[in-house]
Amino acid sequence: MYLFYVIVGVLFCVSYADFVRESELDYDGWLQLRLWQAFNDDPMPVFTERGNITVSSVRSGASVVGQNGLLPAQISALKNLAEHDGKYRLKVLARTSSGSEITFLSSVPACYLLGSDLEDIITIWLDSAAEPIAVSISSLGPCILDNPFTNMWTTNVVVRYPDGGPIPDTAMYIQKLEREREARERGETKDNRSFLAKYWMYIVPALIFLLLSSATNPEAAAGGSAQRQ
């Protein structure tokens, strides 16, 4: 009986975690991102327009990317950044379907963009209300200083929601309870709990049943008292 209550409780926790995660994804909307890029390593970046990203559904992550190719002077500036261990900087203006606008700044080592032939990953982090809380740029590299094979960006857009937290390992927990029960039956462990602590799961349902029976049949209880008098 005790094991039954434990299993029901654990399954309830797992179902509740799934419900919370589904409720976070319940809202769907769109996002528009305007991108600017900077090739200088000065404290004050000089941004030029790079392109746009439209996320038509934040739930599915479906997106359309439109970007300008790099000019020869921009590729030279990117190589110069890489040679000096500089970072390529990206500014993003995100506009949501609710009408809010937020600006984000991110960066990635320039040599990684050269090593990946201008292939990068733009990750959009959303909160439970599908509002952007961060936008980051990354590239898998490797870090090299050679000219890229192309002057066109290859951008992968990823939409992320916050994790719902770890889910309990139900099977392992049940196995542990079974091992402890078998050990107690074999007498390998001594149970020092009090009578109430050992058998509360039987006593409480019995008391509840008695209280409910008394509440639903008060006349019978009164009649019994009268007869005893």
In a domain, 96, yes or no: yes
Q: β-strands 62-67, 31-38: how paired?
A: unpaired
Q: Is residue 181 part of a domain?
A: no
Structure tokens at 29: 């909307």
Residues 206 and 139 grouped into a single domain: no
- Mean pLDDT for the chain? 79
Asked, for residue 123, whether it belongs to a domain, the answer is yes
**CA gap 117, 151 in Å, rounded:** 8
Same domain membership, residue 149 and residue 199: no
Same domain, 152 and 213: no
Segments of the chain scoring below 70 in pLDDT? 1-27, 162-175, 187-193, 195-198, 215-229
Euclidean distance between CA atoms 96 and 10, whole angstroms: 38
Phi, psi of 212, deg, nearest 5: -65, -40
| Angstrom distance (rounded) from CA 104 to CA 90 | 8
182 within some domain: no
Q: Reduced to 3 states, what is the DSSP secondary structure of residue 28?
A: coil
pLDDT at 220: 52
Both 30 and 101 in one domain: the answer is yes
pLDDT digits (tens, 9 = 90+) for 141-151: 899 999 999 99
Share above pLDDT 90 across residues of the chain, in percent, rounded to a whole number: 47
Domain boundary residue, one of 160, 178, 212 = 160
Q: In this structure, are 149 and 213 located in the same domain?
A: no
Question: pLDDT at position 211, please?
Answer: 78
Q: Are residues 151 and 39 both part of a single domain? A: yes
Residue 153 lies in a domain: yes
Q: Are residues 207 and 136 in the same domain?
A: no
- Reported as a single tens digit per residue, the pLDDT across 15-62 is 444 443 443 345 578 899 999 999 998 889 999 999 999 999 888 889
Q: What is the pTM of this model?
A: 0.60
User: Residue 176: inside a domain, yes or no?
Assistant: no
Place of tokens 């390529």: 88
What's the pLDDT at 8?
A: 38
CA angle 135/139/142 to nearest 5° reads 160
Q: For residue 74, which of 116, 104, 36 has the smallest C-alpha distance?
A: 36
Question: Which residue range forms the structural domain that includes residue 218?
Answer: 195-229
Inter-residue contact 108 to 87 (CB < 8 Å): yes
How many domains in the chain? 2
The per-residue pLDDT for 102 is 94
